[in-house]
Amino acid sequence: MKITALELQTSQPEELKAFYTQLLGLPLLSEDDESFSVQAGYSTLTFRTGEAAQNGGYHLAFHIPGNGITEAAAWLRDRVAFLYAPGAASPVVDHETWQAKALYFYDPAFNLLEFIAHRSAPASHTPFGPAQLSGIAEVGLPVIGVAAFAQELREEFKLSRWKVADALFEAVGDAEGLFIVVQEQRPWFPTQNPALALPLCVRVQAPGAGRIAHGPFVIESEKTKVQV
């Protein structure tokens, strides 16, 4: 699955535009009085002015090269404050079950961002920079009733469960793109900020053509988009 477009809300559009375009260096695709969009590889990320919560907001991850975690950490070090796992001496989190390594940090609106390097991802031999953000890897979906919603996602878009799952957490998709389904109020790792169900729209390339409107979420496949 590929996450090709993601739209989130913010009450801090100017701060976020500066962060994503100047600090992270993502190209600005468009802007108007109500929104702006940046490009991250094959994904478009849009922020629309709204009343999004300012603490413990959205969670999204960006793909980086499979061999890029050390260079990514060095590149980010002077740009953000890393979030460390409890007791960790390094900001690099080794998700051994997922065969991936990750870095976590906030944007100015306290959205939890992640750079994730899957071992299966292509390697890069060029200096790390914005061009190494090859797409949106994950989007968090806090719900009441994780198992039922994860099943709906799997059936609607013909996806699989990714690795392990429990009553409070399930990842749906694959290493190319994941829905991170969590119980509302469960803290986002590695923070203590509660997961909140905030308005978002996400478009994906998936085996199944479908559309789900669930609470504040709208999720649709590109096949559905073309047919409308």
Every domain of the chain and the residues it spans: 2-227
Q: Write out pLDDT tens, residues 148-163.
A: 999 999 999 999 999 9
C-alpha to C-alpha distances, 57 to 30, 50, 60, 118, 139, nearest whole angstrom: 23, 13, 10, 24, 12
* Residue 129 one-letter amino acid: G
Q: Write out pLDDT tens, residues 42-60.
A: 999 999 998 755 555 899 9
| Contact status, residue 191 vs residue 49, Cβ threshold 8 Å | no
User: What pLDDT was estimated at residue 164?
Assistant: 84
The list of the chain residues with pLDDT below 50 reads 225-228
**Cα–Cα nearest to 65, from 5, 118, 2:** 118
The sign of the dihedral angle between the CA atoms of 49, 52, 54, 57 is: negative
User: What pLDDT was estimated at residue 225?
Assistant: 46
- Decide yes or no: CATH 3.90.1300.10 for domain 2-227: no
User: What pLDDT was estimated at residue 50?
Assistant: 82
| Separation between Cα atoms, residue 128 and residue 148, nearest integer Å | 40
